Structure 1
């Protein structure tokens, strides 16, 4: 064997069966795993939550082909460092990808959580390695492959204010009208001149932090009492739930929010997440191909749907709700950015991907490029049979998955049949051509890593 045997190679990828995953073949994770690996058979009673693509030691991917013995991708990259590329190795170290690529199939809500930045990650790991197993940050990007819903960042402050004015249980949870008024009267609307970090913005974030702290430090008895009453109000009011007493105010409340509260309570009865998530965080929906980026120190949660996810290689999580796991409330309250942008600003703006050459205008290569070094993701759509595109060689490694259709994936030395669900590794310096070989549209997602020259 030589490095060239792994410039383009299929991967067999492991699955995680967390309780929140979709059951059996309703899960995209199970569908992809079955398609790519004939030995995999989905159990209709089992939840298939995550497909992991990469070098993470918990669920490593394995390189497989007729010419090479199945071996873990970690081992391959350690043995052939040229597959990583000199710049990537210099930046992130040898033998392990700086990103973890996943498919998630979500049947019920994941925990409301945030992730530390690098500085805080190192500090938490040093002081509490049991709960914070590494010193890295964990920015994430989610791209919908079916209709998706989730939470991402705090609501605009006017929305939170309206909910405090109209939901008595919210007021009682935080200790009464005095504390509600401190928020309602304490924040200030920003003018165009008030940029992020301006005195007014900094003051607003402190007011939001004080409110969030009171929510998260409520006793469980208090939470249980007022979540029951909150759900009763949502069931009773429906269209009027959370509606502003100011008729000119148009917030995203009413029946959709009432239904969300009722549904989440069925999954996590009497949980603080109904308040800190349902009432305080932006509710976001994505259609297939839409994406959002989750910055360090911003609270978020996935509620339902199937997504492509890419993240930095870290397991550091600080949880807030919808979980029986450890909640580190003091660190959570102190670490968040308390950004309060509207939901439209949570979505990523796709860009054309310039490092590609396509056979026709019916081919689209789209780049989702977050403001970090560890990863970006390229979506490729080949609309009809015979469409093809060349993805140029990069300085770093890539992983590609096909989520729709069937294709052929070729390098100078290797040609792979590429059916729906198949995953492949592409080494640094390797260009590949993707060709639609079927009658249906082909959609692929490619996680890439490049760093700019010094």
Structure 2
């Protein structure tokens, strides 16, 4: 493979991102997604042509490294999409290691294996999970047969993902351990009303028996199925009572049984008690979606509440339950846009029975859901690069932090890098080509090339990147 770059084969390009005005986003220029959209000239011109950023419009996401049909990035200043650029010379842009990876080549032929975004939201995202590859294919076929076209399910790829906080970040992620759910239920009469008494008694017996993994998952499945199928009238009978008691007695009185399981360290950067975190997330959900949304009670009763500071994050497997609550985050996932959901503002998508059947029912303590990272990664020659060890085959993440007048050289990566600058301005140099990228702007770097980052201003620079290795 020739590694020679040139006008027709650039090693480095600025990208035109894709703005997604999803309804859970922060409104107007409060959203980082909206702010970032205005930093790329061609995207700003497109936004301005359509009336500009609207103060009362939510802007949930901006896709910064995407070849997906639902939100493709383009090479800035050109009509060429990122996918088209890559496919002019897949070996040059993707690298021989990625092309030789059987899993990658079968699922993402001559394509990026990941989708790189920033999300900015102050309203909970839907209670959701993302199907594995087998189920994704089935959902595509079923929808095509029913509707004659694909709308919700447009690819068959699995969608494991990672979210890393850019600001304080709260999220419901995964099921609590079996005994924690039992304690929350026993201590909160209002939540008990979500279930049939016989269901609760059977669950308590399992929880008290030190169940094995399979029995624990089966017990949680029974609770989730009953909760997510609850009628709006049942939910509406519970939510106002619970809200009233929280207001009168305080979170620690209402959810005090959960405080024995208060997360520590990075899983609870806010320092809240578990009860306080539960009440805050619940109140945000009810304020946003009203007192009939089944997702508010389901998440509150069954799920971990993570609260992270900037730089900390969580990982989610395919078929894992989650619902992000508030924050601005870097999000990266396998190159897919599939979702099965019900509740927290979303009507049934993919089928409630499918939702119940597909979940992993993984039930871990909150601190086991965090992404481990390694500062002073050995590919960063000046010690200014953090590697996030993502347990997902399609990608890993880096953060490069540059004080004024500093630079970092990152040794050649196996696969392509998509990056975004979240603070300051940086000069990126690859194969003798240089590009200045400032806050809110994104770029793409070919596989297999050394990369030099040099602070181009007087402020601290922060760069985030997703890449295959």
Instruction: Give the match's secondary structure for 1:356.
Output: coil
Residue by residue over 1:209-256, the C-alpha shift from the partner in whole angstroms, topping out at 9 and shown as x without a partner, is 1111111222232222222333233333323012239xx945554344
1:235 to 247, 252, 257: 247
Partners of 1:215 and 1:21 in 2: how far apart?
26
2:17 corresponds to which residue?
A: 13
1:274 aligns with 2:296: yes
Residues 133 and 62 of structure 1, relative CA distance in 2, 3 Å threshold = closer
1:323 corresponds to which residue?
A: 345
The CA deviation at 1:32 is: 1.9
Task: Check the 8 A contact 2:133/2:158 in 1, yes or no.
Answer: yes
Residues 83 and 250 of structure 1, relative CA distance in 2, 3 Å threshold = closer
Residue by residue over 1:296-319, the C-alpha shift from the partner in whole angstroms, topping out at 9 and shown as x without a partner, is 111101111100000111122111
2:186 corresponds to which residue?
A: 165
1:381 corresponds to which residue?
A: 401
More helix by share: 2
Partners of 2:315 and 2:7 in 1: how far apart?
34
Residue by residue over 1:310-347, the C-alpha shift from the partner in whole angstroms, topping out at 9 and shown as x without a partner, is 01111221113213332422111122121211111111
Task: Check the 8 A contact 1:75/1:95 in 2, yes or no.
Answer: no
Partners of 2:261 and 2:410 in 1: how far apart?
45
Instruction: Give the match's secondary structure for 2:448.
Output: coil
2:131 corresponds to which residue?
A: 116
Moved more, 222-231 or 267-276: 222-231
2:97 to 87, 111, 118: 87
2:147 corresponds to which residue?
A: none
1:296 corresponds to which residue?
A: 318
Partners of 2:375 and 2:431 in 1: how far apart?
25
Partners of 1:52 and 1:147 in 2: how far apart?
21
Task: Check the 8 A contact 1:404/1:420 in 2, yes or no.
Answer: yes
| Aligned positions of 1:377-416 closer than 5 A | 377-382=397-402, 384-416=403-435
Task: Check the 8 A contact 2:421/2:440 in 1, yes or no.
Answer: yes
1:344 aligns with 2:344: no
Count of residue pairs the alignment pairs up = 432
Moved more, 263-272 or 253-262: 253-262
Q: State TM-score, norm by structure 2.
A: 0.86
Moved more, 432-441 or 85-94: 85-94
| Aligned positions of 1:18-417 closer than 5 A | 18-37=22-41, 39=45, 42-53=53-64, 54-64=66-76, 69-81=78-90, 82-90=92-100, 91-92=104-105, 93-129=108-144, 130=150, 131-176=152-197, 178-188=198-208, 200-238=212-250, 239-244=252-257, 249=260, 252-269=273-290, 270-327=292-349, 328-352=351-375, 354=377, 356-359=379-382, 363-382=383-402, 384-417=403-436
Partners of 1:236 and 1:188 in 2: how far apart?
32
Unaligned runs of 5+ in 2: 145-149, 263-272
Compute the RMSD of aligned alpha carbons: 2.3
Instruction: Give the match's secondary structure for 2:136.
Output: helix
Instruction: Give the match's secondary structure for 1:386.
Output: coil
Task: Check the 8 A contact 1:400/1:446 in 2, yes or no.
Answer: yes
2:268 corresponds to which residue?
A: none
Residue by residue over 1:159-182, the C-alpha shift from the partner in whole angstroms, topping out at 9 and shown as x without a partner, is 211221122222222123x32221
The CA deviation at 1:155 is: 1.4
Moved more, 161-170 or 286-295: 161-170
Instruction: Give the match's secondary structure for 1:104.
Output: strand
Instruction: Give the match's secondary structure for 1:380.
Output: strand
The CA deviation at 1:262 is: 2.4
Partners of 1:421 and 1:132 in 2: how far apart?
29
Task: Check the 8 A contact 1:36/1:419 in 2, yes or no.
Answer: no
Moved more, 336-345 or 325-334: 325-334
